[in-house]
Structure 1
């Protein structure tokens, strides 16, 4: 694999389409992880293929001022997820509606911890379901993928200020769904 910036590889793929495989090799694992979290492991493979097929088709319009293609690919992947959003929301609602499973065997502390984790998971799912699509996209790109505000802005083609306001709004709504279980979300305030 070459050590050229992504922009150089993409430009060279205009004349030699097979060169675009280097972009796939460099970034597919990151994009697939993100997609698996968004649409599930089974749908992630199809979504990954859709993402790279769309990226290949749009490679002539790639912003050559950006040496790293990953934010661009996250943006395409997020739009692919938009096509799967109804299923995603349905999954969050299903998780939120599931009652905590009762564990018969084992120490009381383990049962209490499991019930608490399941209740928190349901609250997070409810919180995610209540978010507007753009707010959810920003929150998940930052929380799951560790993107900076600037990278999220590039991925979603929105200003950094919009990223900040969407993240703030998403945090408030998820905090409200979680009640007192907000500690993991506090970590997001130090990111960016």
Structure 2
């Protein structure tokens, strides 16, 4: 089979998979993750249910794939903030604000959130995130903007655990106040 044919088929499969995950995201946003069904996904994407089942065995598999894509997107965004302009302290603040905002948006998913937030991809993401924040904390400590009497890894754990509370906060203003309290806790 010509290589072009294989690339075209793989491109088509990626496009269908992306369309399914985009539809899942739209449905979850409009109706909540629990309301996502294979029938709704098929209708939203305009593909038949039989085709959908060729890609995913059930709605849980679709939700997991969607979640993995979300986690990757969040990590990429946080990595971009880490690598952006400004001092380490400024970049740390931007990363923590973004992470807290992610936690706030995630707060209302209940059982589905608990189902999706487990497994190896989540463990890897947590390790990556802890390393990302820990690296920024170490850099900011070297610049004198973050306390150096506590190891950066411990400060990173403190920051990330404290910011998980953003999931229950009522407003963006409350999230910003929480971030300010966390940042006060890491300053010298």
Question: Shorter-chain-normalised TM-score: which range?
Answer: 0.3 to 0.5
TM-score by length of 2: 0.33
TM-score by length of 1: 0.33
